[in-house]
Amino acid sequence: MTTSFCRALEPQAGEVSLLLVEDREISRYNRRFLNRTGPTNVLAFSMQEGPYGEVNPHLWGDIVVSTETAAREAREAGLPLVDRVAALIAHGWLHLQGYDHERSPEEERLMELRTGEIVERMGKEQRRDSYMTKARLAVNVDHVATLRQARRGCEPDPVLAAGMAELAGAEGIIVHLREDRRHIQDRDLRLLKETVQTKLNLEMGAAEEIIRIALKVKPDFVTLVPEKRQELTTEGGLEIVKQQKNLAQVISRFHRARIAVSLFIDADPAQIQASRDVGADIVELHTGHYANARSEKEAVKLFERIREGAEQAAGLGLKVSAGHGLNYVNTKRFAGVAEIEEYSIGHSIMARAIYVGLDQAVREMIGLIEQL
Ligand code: PXP
C-alpha cells in the first residue's frame, strides 16, 4: 500500500513520515499541538513552516492517522478501511502541500477534489501492483489436433502437447471444443481434464450440447466465444449487450457448478460493462484485430483500445486476459499493460514449434511475457 500510495502522489522529492495510531494517541497530539479535545481522523504537521522550515527543504512533515476513527468512518460510509485510510493520508498530504480547507469553501471543495484524484490514482497503482509479475501464458493446443484431424489418425496428440507445454512452464491449457469437432474431440477434453496440472480452460460456443459436456467434464473455467461453422477461426468477440439475459442464465449455470466464466469480447466499453452486468468472472480481450492491423497507425489505435479496455475491466473488478493472433513480435507491445493477467496463445507457438520444438517455443514465449 505504501509503495502504491507514494507513486499515487505526484512524484515529489522529499520525505514524509506517516504514523498510524489509535484514538488515545491522536487525542494527545490534538490537545498538545492544536489545543483541541478528543480524537480526530487525521493531523498533518508541516516541517516546511515555522522556525525550522529552512533546515531541510526535503522534509515535508508528519501525517498522523487514527485507524480507530478511520475504521468507524469507513463502517459508517460502507467503505473498505483501506479506502478511508487512503483518503485521510491524501488529505494530510495536501495540508503539507499548503492546502487548507478551513480558509474558504472554495479551498475546501478543491481539497476534496484533489483528495479524490489521489485516491483514484492510488487504486490504479494498487491494482497495477497486484497484477505485477502475474502475467501468465496459457497455451492453446487446438492446432495440434488440427494436424491430427488432417489424417483422422492419432498423432500428434494434443494431450501430449499440453503436458509438454506445462513442462516448459505454461500455466494454463486451452482447447476449443467446436460443435463441428473440426479439431478437438470429446476424448481430448476428457483426457485433458484428467491430466492437466495447471488450469484447463474450455473455449466454447453457448450451444446446449456443449454446455452440457462442459458441466459434466468441469474444466477449471470456460471461455464463451461466438462460433460460426464457416469461419477459419473465431472471428469477432462475443456480443454481450444484445443477449444479456441468455448469457446471465448460462453463466449462473456454470457458477452453480463452481466453474468460472470468461467472455471473449472486443475491447468495447459497452461490451465490457455488460460482461460485468451478466456476472462474468473474466474477460478475454480480442487481440485479433490488433494483430491483423495493416499499418502501424492502425495497430497503435487498436492496441490503445485494448489497453483502455483492460483498465476499464480491471476497474470493474473483472480479471483480464487477452488473446488471438498474438505472436513473438506483436505481444511485445503489451509491455506495461499490467491489468492483463493471462495471454492465450496457440497458432504462433505451434508454428514455431515445427522448427524449434514445442518446449523451446513455449519457453521463448514465456520469456517474452515475463519482460512485459
Ligand atoms: N483466444 C480465443 C478466444 C481464441 O478463439 C483463440 C483461437 O482459438 C485464441 C485465443 C488463440 O489464438 P491464436 O491461435 O491466434 O494464438
By alpha-carbon position, which residue is closest to atom 12 of ligand 1?
324
Q: For residue range 298-339, what is the model confidence (pLDDT) as tens digits?
A: 999 999 999 999 999 999 999 999 999 999 999 999 998 999
State the CATH number of the domain containing residue 108. 3.40.390.30
Residue 35 CB coordination number (10 Å): 7
- Give the domain extent around 106: 2-129
**Res 127: pLDDT:** 63
* Residue 132: pLDDT over 80: no
- Dist. CA 104 → ligand 1 center (Å): 57
Whether residues 51 and 118 share a domain: the answer is yes
* Cis preceding linkage at 156, omega within 30: yes
Question: Cell for 10?
Answer: 505526484
- CA-CA distance, 122 to 124, in Å (whole number)? 5
Grouping H, G, I as helix, E, B as strand and the rest as coil, residue 45 is strand
Whether residues 106 and 12 share a domain: the answer is yes
Whether residues 120 and 151 share a domain: the answer is no
Beta-strand pair 42-46/59-66: antiparallel
Question: Cell for 255?
Answer: 457458477
Given 129, 162, 184, the domain boundary residue is 129
Residue ranges lining ligand 1, Cβ < 6 Å? 140, 142, 176, 203, 223, 225, 233-234, 264, 284, 323-326, 344-348
Q: What is the mean pLDDT of residues 132-150?
A: 91
3 Cβ contact list (under 8 Å, min separation 6): 125, 129
From 140, 262, 334, give the residue whose CB has the most ligand 1 atoms within 8 Å, as the site to mutate. 140
Whether residues 213 and 276 share a domain: the answer is yes
- Residue 239's nearest CA partner among 276, 264, 269 is 264
* Residue 57: pLDDT over 90: no
Given 98, 129, 160, the domain boundary residue is 129
**Res 120: pLDDT:** 83
Given 129, 147, 168, the domain boundary residue is 129
Whether residues 184 and 40 share a domain: the answer is no
By alpha-carbon position, which residue is closest to atom 11 of ligand 1?
324
Instruction: Write the DSSP assignment of 213-253 as a string of letters.
Output: HHHHH--SEEEE----TT-SS--S----GGGHHHHHHHHHH
Q: Is the CA virtual torsion 22, 28, 29, 30 positive or negative?
A: positive
Q: What is Dmax (Cα atoms) for the chain?
A: 87
Q: For residue range 86-123, what is the model confidence (pLDDT) as tens digits?
A: 899 999 999 998 899 988 999 999 999 999 888 888 87
**Res 3: pLDDT:** 60
Whether residues 249 and 291 share a domain: the answer is yes
Contact 84, 75 (CB under 8 A): no
Number of independent structural domains in the chain: 2
- Dist. CA 284 → ligand 1 center (Å): 10
Whether residues 296 and 189 share a domain: the answer is yes
- Residue 350's nearest CA partner among 327, 322, 321, 323 is 327
Whether residues 85 and 221 share a domain: the answer is no
State the CATH number of the domain containing residue 256. 3.20.20.70
Q: For residue range 276-306, what is the model confidence (pLDDT) as tens digits?
A: 999 999 999 999 999 999 999 999 999 999 9
324 labelled catalytic: yes
Q: For residue range 163-207, what is the model confidence (pLDDT) as tens digits?
A: 999 999 999 999 999 999 999 999 999 999 999 999 999 999 999
* Residue 131: pLDDT over 60: no
91 labelled catalytic: no
Whether residues 252 and 191 share a domain: the answer is yes
- Dist. CA 5 → ligand 1 center (Å): 37
* Residue 4: pLDDT over 70: no
Question: What Å distances lie between residue 347 and 204, 235, 288, CA to CA?
Answer: 18, 14, 12
Q: For residue range 59-70, what is the model confidence (pLDDT) as tens digits?
A: 888 999 999 999
Whether residues 263 and 182 share a domain: the answer is yes
Q: For residue range 68-78, what is the model confidence (pLDDT) as tens digits?
A: 999 999 999 88
Whether residues 138 and 287 share a domain: the answer is yes
Q: For residue range 210-253, what is the model confidence (pLDDT) as tens digits?
A: 999 999 999 999 999 998 767 777 678 999 999 999 999 999 99
Sheet holding 15-21, edge to edge: 15-21, 59-66, 42-46
Q: For residue range 201-211, what is the model confidence (pLDDT) as tens digits?
A: 999 999 999 99
Whether residues 175 and 191 share a domain: the answer is yes
